[in-house]
Chains A and B, each alone.
Chain A
Amino acid sequence: MNAPARIPKAQFDFKPLALLAGVAALGLPLIGSPSTWVTLTVAGLAMGLIIFIIASGLTLVFGLMDVLNFGHGVFIAAGAFVATSVIAGMGGWAEAPGLWPNLGALFVAMLAAMAVAGALGFAFERLIVRPVYGQHLKQILITMGGMIVGEEIIKMIWGPQQQPLPLPTSLRGSFVFGDVAIEKYRVLAVAIGLLVFAVLLWVLGRTKIGLLIRAGVQDREMVESLGYRIRRLFVGVFVAGSALAGLGGVMWGLNQQIVSPQIGAQVNVLIFIVIIIGGLGSTLGCFVGALLMGLLANYIGFLAPKLALFTNIALMVAILLWRPQGLYPVKTV
């Protein structure tokens, strides 16, 4: 009796990860000084992880329902603006000398931002996205319209000017090890980013809901025919993705220390490039793409500041020439 032929396991594709490591390794000799390299790498990872937090929801929503939300930027802006109010309102904690009250104020701001962005996402899905499922043209138009309206509402509440978003006192400045200086906030951003990535991996890889989401990304109709209501799942993913965008908005705003109503439209361009690079619908691709973008932006910003503004588009073209469907293609687009 022959043993049943084993189904060959899908090989994990290490090439994009190798590319990421290669970029980081190549940065060292080009930059020269190791201490500068460490500073830039941490800054790049922080930026990449923030972008990943924002973009992860967008790419999952696209993978699951073929919905690309051009209004994703609204959640970013809403999150950032809620944080300005919360941190200003908790001035006592944010300005206090100790680390714990500072972190407390920050986490309250983040939670509030996530709650507001999540609620906004729920409303957005209901009012804007739901009526135009499966109609790509209308989807693009209407989510863009949603963004215009959202931006105006933000201007109505917080005013059209830029708002300062200062870091709590004990997160300002840098840790110094020898001649290596790392900004404290970036360490926190990396930690939060990795935490979010770990939680996402755990939910997607180890839970029933994650299994259904992944199956839905692969083949929606099949999951539906097995009796699962993919619509509800989708609303959940949409809300979670919006909340993550709100969180990312707070972190992006703190990174810039200033928030303007146009922040959503600006970051939107970045996250679109990231999810194209990663392969539409792929979480891992989104992660690798975001880190690539963060690292390159910081390295090239140091080596040739003039060129830094074009790294994103150059990166996108280069990746698409190599893999037209993105780093980790999910399905044929």
Chain B
Amino acid sequence: MTMLSRLLSHDLPRNRWLAAALLLIVLGLAFAPFLFPGSKALGVAAKMLVFIVLVASYDLLLGYTGIVSFAHTMFFGLGAYGVAIASNRMGEGWAAVATGTAAALALSLLLSLVIGLFSLRVKAIFFAMITLAVASAFQTLASQLSELTGGEDGLSFRNPAWLSPSFEPFEQPFLGVALDGKLLCYYLLFVAAVLLFLLLLRIVNSPFGRVLQAIRENDFRAEALGYRTVVYRTLSNVLSALFATLAGVLLALWLRYTGPDTTLSFEIMLDILLIVVIGGMGTMYGAVLGSVLFVLAQNYLQDLLKLTSGAFDGVPLLGTVLSPDRWLLWLGVLFVLSVYHFPAGIVGRLRVLRSGAARREGP
């Protein structure tokens, strides 16, 4: 138990239901290829892993430091494009993946540092606007440099031999699942996501993370205590960008494709925002819970809504409102309500539930 506690940087879920849900998620994702056979289910699980890292890295910035950035998908895209471009230019192989990742990390570091130093001195709003403009310019840049990025079509590439679906070291399937490169790739993603998430948890629970939270609560006081808030904010921005870049690398490895729609689009930025707020800002576990629920809803809720909306087809207004294409509407409403009523999201809600119960039980 203490071992686990250390692994989680002593930042435990602090709620029985939350802990159960997290355990379920970890087990589900760990054994996904065996529990949910089929390529769609595995794709959904892989997307959850990528989003957990991506959203958790955004939580570092938004939830823990109190900065809104709209350029997070830019760094996500940098990682994905780095691997894709390097694999295309150098031929597939681990060297290409390493070069692409390193180059993307370096570029992300530079960009996030410049943006941070340039605009984090002033108000949060200013930073949000600047990042919005920069991200949209970057999106245009990626689609214009079609020589390099494949433009709107994106880039397909091949993974290192080990990770490609044609790699089949064993003849016999194990527990009915073929042991191929795709499976290996999934477990690479799983291990990477777990490590990156634990690292993020470590960062937010370190003394550095405490300073970030102090800045979020009251930057004036943090400055008065002698912390250079600009430096801390910029560092937080850089760290979050680097983790997002790594999430992009993971996505590219899984899809063997990188394009503007899978990485750079503003829709993904909004998705991240929705997940982090609904899951719970400043909790890290919210990223896990939120990503899993969101990706599940994105892939399966539409089917479910199709069933229900069939029942309301005759009713004019209800039919359109409950149409499966409008699921983002409900998510948007949920988002707005979350910001008002439970800013700490699902996770915060669960934790309050516990303390409320404890108070009732107490003397």
Bound together: yes
Chain A contacts to B: CB under 8 angstroms: 68, 70, 128, 131-132, 136-142, 144-146, 148-149, 152-153, 155-156, 160, 265, 268-269, 272-273, 276, 280, 306, 309-310, 312-313, 316, 333
Docked-complex contact A269 and B336, CB < 8 angstroms? no
Are A68 and B273 within 8 A (Cβ)?
no
B339 neighbours in A (Cβ, 8 Å): 132, 138, 141-142, 145
B329 touches A149 (CB 8 A): yes
Prevailing SS type, chain B contact patch: helix
Contact B335 A136 (CB under 8 A): no
Bound together, the chains give a CA A126 to CA B132 distance in angstroms of 26
Q: Are A137 and B124 CB-contacts (below 8 A) given A160-B325, A269-B132?
A: yes
Question: Could you tell me the distance between the alpha carbons of A256 and B133 in the complex, rounded to whole angstroms?
Answer: 21
Question: Are A312's CB and B137's CB within 8 A?
Answer: yes
Task: Give CA–CA (A149, B331) in the complex, Å.
Answer: 8
Complex Cα spacing A145 to B331, Å: 9
Q: Nearest Cβ in chain A — how far from B274, in angstroms?
A: 8
From A160, A265, A313, contact of B133 by CB (8 A): A313
Q: A148-B270, A333-B123 are in contact. Are A137 and B133 (CB under 8 A)?
A: no
A146–B336 alpha-carbon span in the complex (Å): 7
The count of residues in chain B whose C-beta lies closer than 8 Å to any C-beta of chain A is 39
Taking a contact as CB atoms under 8 Å apart, the answer to whether B343 and A310 are in contact is no
* A156-B321, A309-B140, A310-B141 known; A140+B124 contact, CB < 8 A: yes
Residues of B within 8 A of A137 (CB): 62, 66, 68, 124
Closest B residue to A273 using CB positions: B133
CB distance from A235 to the nearest CB of B (A): 19
From A70, A145, A309, A312, B332 is in contact (CB under 8 Å) with: A145
User: Which of B130, B136, B335 touches A145 (beta carbons < 8 Å)?
Assistant: B335
Pick from B125, B132, B140, B273: contact of A310, CB under 8 Å: B140
The answer to whether A136 and B124 have CB atoms under 8 Å apart is yes
A243 to B228: give the CA distance in the assembly, Å: 43
Whether a CB of chain A sits under 8 angstroms from the CB of B122 is yes
A136/B134 in contact, CB under 8 A: no
Residue from the list A142, A265, A269, A272 in contact with B340, Cβ < 8 A: A142
**Complex formed: what's the CA distance from A306 to B270 in Å?**
28
Given A145-B335, A269-B133, A312-B137, residue A136 in contact with residue B144 (CB < 8 A): no
Question: 4 other contacts beyond A132-B339, A149-B336, A152-B329, with CB at 8 A cut-off?
Answer: A137-B62, A148-B328, A149-B332, A269-B133
Q: Is B129 an interface residue (CB 8 A)?
A: yes
